[in-house]
Amino acid sequence: MQDVTQNTTKPDSIHFLQDGVALEVEVQNLVKTFGKHEAVKNVSFTIGKGEIFGLLGPNGAGKSTTINMMCGYLAPTAGDTQIGTISVKKEPRKAKRLIGVVPQEIALYKDLTSLENLEFFGEIYGLSAKERRARAEEVLQFVGLYDRRKEAIQTFSGGMQRRINMAVAMMHQPAFLMMDEPTVGVDPQSRENIFETIERIRDQGTTVLYTTHYMEEAERLCNHIAIMDEGRIIAMGTLDQLLALRDQQREIQRPHGLQELFIQLTGKTLRD
């Protein structure tokens, strides 16, 4: 098996995601406890090479904790995540080079320009000065904000900030991109732009984990979907497989199929 770390981190080309190697991601029996509270209970799933995997669940279901363990931010109480052949637990720094995370919040330096933000994160990921500038310009063009590169983030609309939030995660050409509710609070136009960007990323071979509360987003984007609740995965499969699960019991109208399934599986009780 080839050394994926070398292939994805050696910046001998500046073509956007062309050199990225699609990797399978395997989550193995992840457990996380905070004191007596077990936030994630033995979660396992596999994301195929170059596919978009949807992770759905109500607030407090354990999605964010799972993502935090997968990207090496939180140490799991038990279990591990394999990015290709790299273990996040055993080789966190190596694994982190393969991972890009689009956080739910706008995690940007709002007083800096979009170009300064991208170049800073490029430095952090070890890109040379020449590569940083070239990559920053590429991803800015990719998200359609090249013309605004010298403007401070705080002058951007919510949708534009979301796109830069994504661009930062793409700076180092990650083989595996985790997106935590990337469309929260954006208008339909910006949301459509984000969808198109994600589809282009997938088409270029990047493996994507996508969490959302919007069922139509999962229906549109995801090859496979897992529904989490109370720290567990309670259903998992392709959209058709999940709908078939419910169709066995009663007729579900397709446009709202996943929404109904979600409510039936997780209940109507309000969550924090």
Partner 1 sequence: MKTLWYIAKKDLLQVLKDRNSFLLLLVVPIVLMVIIGFALGGANSGSNQIAITVALSNQDSGNLGKSIASALKIDTSTLKVTVNTFSDANKVTQAVKNGDAIAGVVIAEGTTDKLAAASQSKQATNNLVQVYALPNSTDQRVIIVQNLVTSVVNQTVNAQYAGSAAIGQVNAVCNQSGNRCAPQTIDAATIAKSVGGASTITAQNAQVQLLTAGEAAKTNFFDQVVPGYAIFFALFGINSAAATILQEKEDGTFRRLLIAPIQKYALLGGKMLAQFILTLVQLAVLFTVGYFAFHLDVSSWPALILLLVGASFATTGLGILLVSIVKTRRQLNPVVTLVTLSTSAIGGTWFPLFLEPTWMQQLAKVGIAGWAMEGLNAVMLYGKDLTWVVPNILGLVGYGVICLLLALRFFRFQEKVA
- The footprint of partner 1 (CB under 8 A) covers 34, 37, 39, 60, 62, 64-65, 68, 71-74, 92-94, 96-97, 99, 101, 103-112, 116, 120-121, 123-126, 152, 168
User: CA-to-CA distance for 203 and 64, rounded, in angstroms?
Assistant: 25
| Beta-ladder partners of 33 | 38
Q: Which residues contact 243 (CB under 8 A, 6 or more apart)?
A: 252, 254, 257, 258, 261
In the bound state with partner 1, the residue whose beta carbon lies nearer, of 36 and 93, is 93
In the bound state with partner 1, the residue whose beta carbon lies nearer, of 22 and 152, is 152
Shortest approach of partner 1 to residue 123 CB, angstroms? 4
Distinct helix (H) and strand (E) counts, the chain: 10, 10
User: CA-to-CA distance for 48 and 33, rounded, in angstroms?
Assistant: 28
Instruction: Tell me which residue of 164, 49, 65, 184 sits closest to 118, measured CA to CA.
Output: 164
In the bound state with partner 1, the residue whose beta carbon lies nearer, of 92 and 237, is 92
In the bound state with partner 1, the residue whose beta carbon lies nearer, of 91 and 260, is 91
On whether the CB atoms of residues 143 and 197 are closer than 8 A, the answer is yes
| Beta-ladder partners of 78 | 31
User: CA-to-CA distance for 117 and 168, rounded, in angstroms?
Assistant: 7
In the bound state with partner 1, the residue whose beta carbon lies nearer, of 111 and 203, is 111
What's the CA angle centered on 226, arms 224 and 229, to 5 degrees? Answer: 170
Shortest approach of partner 1 to residue 194 CB, angstroms? 18
Shortest approach of partner 1 to residue 179 CB, angstroms? 13
Shortest approach of partner 1 to residue 96 CB, angstroms? 4
Residue 21 DSSP one-character state:
P
In the bound state with partner 1, the residue whose beta carbon lies nearer, of 128 and 238, is 128
Shortest approach of partner 1 to residue 132 CB, angstroms? 11
Shortest approach of partner 1 to residue 168 CB, angstroms? 8
